[in-house]
Amino acid sequence: MPIYVVKATAGQERVVAELLYRETVNRKKKIKEEGGEVYSVLYTPGLKGYILVEANKPGVVADLARNVPKTKGLILKEKGNLDSAGTIKIEDLEETLEPTPVVTEVNRGDLVELIAGPFKGENARVAKIDEDKNEITVELIEAAVPIPVVVRGDDIKIIKKENNEDKNK
């Protein structure tokens, strides 16, 4: 089945995907009556500003997008021509759908910001990396005494890379 691309407001991909899904569920009967079918709605952090919709017709996707806020419509190669709707092959999405764990990109000594958990918003320095568990031990910078905190790799954002290449596991 073709996978169509819907342009969405950057940073609102999850919300738009949920709204598109709800709209699909709410209009399921009408979509079927018109010979349309929506098989899946997907957003992924690797595609900023885009939602993927698997459907049998571009018109179905365009109608859904028209009824959902924070969308900018279906991506078309030729303005106003639904037959020119761009599609993506699943093979072309494999790299985007299989994200690289952050722990493979971080080194001992890197400066990071905690983006989740009880220390959200705090800056820390990477002390130890456990790729197998997807965990990183960091030391909070603004603490009077260095406090080691173990966090998931997904809960950090790299602020500054340290020059050393040594990874301490």
**Mean pLDDT in the chain?**
85
Half-sphere exposure of 22 (CA within 13 A, CB side): 9
What pLDDT digit, counting tens, does each position of 38-79 carry? 999 998 877 889 999 999 989 899 899 998 999 988 877 777
Question: Is the pLDDT at 128 greater than 90, yes or no?
Answer: yes
Which positions ≥6 away from 4 have C-beta within 8 Å? 52, 53, 54, 55, 58, 61, 74, 75, 85, 86, 87
Q: Are residues 92 and 108 in the same domain?
A: no
Gap between the Cα atoms of 43 and 78, Å rounded: 24
In a domain, residue 74? The reply is: yes
Average pLDDT over residues 115-135: 90
Q: Are residues 106 and 91 in the same domain?
A: no
Split into its structural domains, the chain has a count of: 2
Containing domain of residue 78, as a range?
A: 3-97
Residue 169 has what pLDDT? 45
User: Which contiguous run of DSSP H or E holds residue 65?
Assistant: helix 58-66
Average pLDDT over residues 90-105: 72
Average pLDDT over residues 85-110: 77
Average pLDDT over residues 27-40: 91
% of the chain exceeding 70 in pLDDT: 91
Q: Are residues 78 and 139 in the same domain?
A: no
Residue 73 has what pLDDT? 83
Among candidate residues 81, 97, 113, the one where a domain is terminated = 97
What pLDDT digit, counting tens, does each position of 6-23 carry? 999 988 999 999 999 999
Residue 78 has what pLDDT? 73
Q: Are residues 19 and 90 in the same domain?
A: yes
Among candidate residues 64, 97, 130, the one where a domain is terminated = 97
Question: Is the pLDDT at 166 greater than 70, yes or no?
Answer: no
